[in-house]
Amino acid sequence: MARTRRQHPKRRAINAVLGLYLASWFPITSAIWPFPPKRFTGNALIDAGSLGIDSRVIAFGDFNGDQYLDVLCLDSDQQTLSIYLWTHDLFHYTSSASFRHPTKVVNIVPGDFTHDGRLDLLVMGQGASNELDLLVYPALPSGGFDFSHPINIPSSSSAQPITADVDGDMKIDLLGMTPASQSDPQVPLQVWKNVWNISQSNSPLFEIVSPEFHGSQCRIADPHGNAVIDLNGDCLADVFLVCDNGRAGKSFQIWINNKDSGFDLTQQGSLPSDIQSISFADIDRDGTIDLVFTTCSFVSSSTGIGSDCYINIAYNQQLPLCTKPGDSGIQNGVRSCRPPDDLCIGDPNFKFDFSDNEAFVRFPVSTLFSSGASSPPSLLVRDLSFSPPLPLPIKLGDANLDGFPDFLMIIASGNDRTPYLAFSVPCAKGVAGCRADGTGRRGWAIAQKGAEVLGAIKDARSVSFLDMDEDGSLDILVQRSGSAGQGMTMFVQNNFYYDAFFLKAIVLNGACDNGWCYSANRSEKYHPFGISYSGASYKYTVLDTSGHRSAAQVGQLPQTSYHALYTPYSFFGLGRTNNYIENLFIGSTIHAEDHYINLEGVIPNSKLVIIPTTREEAWKRQLFLRPGEWIPWVTVTVVSGTALLAIIVFVLHLNEKREDELERRRASHHINFDAL
């Protein structure tokens, strides 16, 4: 007869408790699950709809200071403006205010022009012939804008002025040409210097002065691709100008910022005669800002479509990153590289070369697509649905978080206007942007799998990157012509999963040194989180999973003209890394001895808010962590594991206590016969 094996009483008790625990847990999981279901499912780009917007988006900004991106829209009459605030709980934009500007609106720049920690609105309206009327709607202490009492400022020429902190006081100035100065061959450039004094009643906002630019100035082109961004690597914003030389075509000038000594003209040269628009980014992740522009042999005046178009990349040639451990970067008294812990070293010998060399890459747009296309793809380079027509540059953003900027553009084929996302990829044979032998710095490949939602759009008129709901992914805004019954606006959620990290950062204008702003009567305090400020610079080093160190550079809000649609913050992918950011250098335009700071060990997947002051040690730094999608699962695992261990310990404790009691009883009944 087989002998049955009896379980130990302690083990039987544990198994019974575990069985009851698991049986009671699973049936009620769906009822008590505290986390909402995912709004978007699928590893792809997903159509998120219009999100409550059905008019032209003209500018981004955080208008209520809640650290969510809001939008400013312009109706088809080009005079009615509407502000939409993002509602996180509803995942939707909600109309906040609407008003009608007295003239046709050409461009809008949100910025803290009154230096009170709130966003104002600079509206550029169509004025007299070849003039732009400039008007500022100041922010109200209670929120919103004072539409009844705008601030009139001197007009500019039709070439839109750009925002820049020219004198280093962290107040927003304007750089451009006035109607009178544009005909001056010697000093065409003028500065709208911010002289606002909040304590003075009826204080003027700007006064026109001649800039401290040492060199031969040029006449700004219209349209142009002017920018405020660090180009020589010292983390201090410089000025890039596109010049109009009449029949001789266009040229460029780079003015280096020397703080109180003004700006020096360090490089100038001719641009291709068929150049369209210019964008700025660190294309090859070497810690320097490069130029990306398109050229087309012919642009149709009736459609805005360019034919025989090329993508051109001019790589910034300057000091590389030191790769040897302990390398000071100085050999024989000459600096040869930048140490990882000292990235903000200016290189006076930096340059851009547009001739045929390794630092200049030029490839046809058609090489991004298969040769079997029904009609050769062309590039939409102008939006003719707006008056005057808007230039459409290639939008740059790190959509897959690998640390290399990707391309977002509109391709025209026949009557279709379709947006395409091209990922930056390592060079190989047959990859667009690489040499025939497969060598080169970077190549590009069109996103196909999971990007069908973009391919279904046939009436796009402009595209932009943004981060909807601040969830740490670069999403896409597609503005459409509304043909075939489609809406005017479409948001595309970037729901791809990438095994990589990101960082978002914003440098504020120092309006409130302690991180809090107060109203005039100090009855209300608020954070100045909504400030849009041009000219900040970020440079960082990071180690990838193989131990390779690389550097990258990102600029903040470098362009504000012609509906540039940059976000007020900077977003950059970090790639795959198992470490913190080693060194993050953050530069401002402040004229102090140290215009930048170095932060070590910054946590990825977070948002960094920086408030500069004249003293480096007094810079305010705030880090906001973004909970990842894995946080709920970690929470449930920890709670479940803790509960399970607690039950096991409790059962073992009871079992041990029962055995101790039995042992005590046996001892009490024991008779000592020797004592009898």
Question: Do you find a cis peptide bond into 388, omega within 30 degrees of 0?
Answer: yes
pLDDT, residue 262, reads 96
Q: Is residue 116 helix, strand or coil?
A: coil
**Cα separation of 565 and 391, whole Å?**
12
Does the pLDDT value for residue 181 go beyond 80?
yes
First to last CA, the chain: 47
Output helix, strand, coil percentages for the chain, rounded to the nearest 5. 15, 40, 50
CA distances from 611 to 50, 317, 535, 569 (A): 34, 31, 14, 13
Least confident of 76-90, 95-109, 310-324, 511-525: 511-525
Query: For residue 289, what are its two tokens?
Result: 């800002």
618 pLDDT band, cuts 50/70/90, is confident
List phi, psi (to 5°) of 403: 95, -5
* Half-sphere exposure at residue 386, Cβ-oriented, CA atoms within 13 angstroms: 26
pLDDT, residue 22, reads 47
pLDDT, residue 8, reads 54
Instruction: Look over the chain and give the mean of its residue pLDDT values, rounded to a whole number.
Output: 90
The tens digit of pLDDT for each residue in 29-53 reads 444 555 566 788 888 999 999 999 9
255 or 638: which carries more pLDDT confidence? 255
pLDDT, residue 255, reads 98
524 pLDDT band, cuts 50/70/90, is confident
19 pLDDT band, cuts 50/70/90, is low
Question: pTM of the entire structure?
Answer: 0.89
Select from 399, 623, 612, 619 the least CA-distant residue to 505. 623
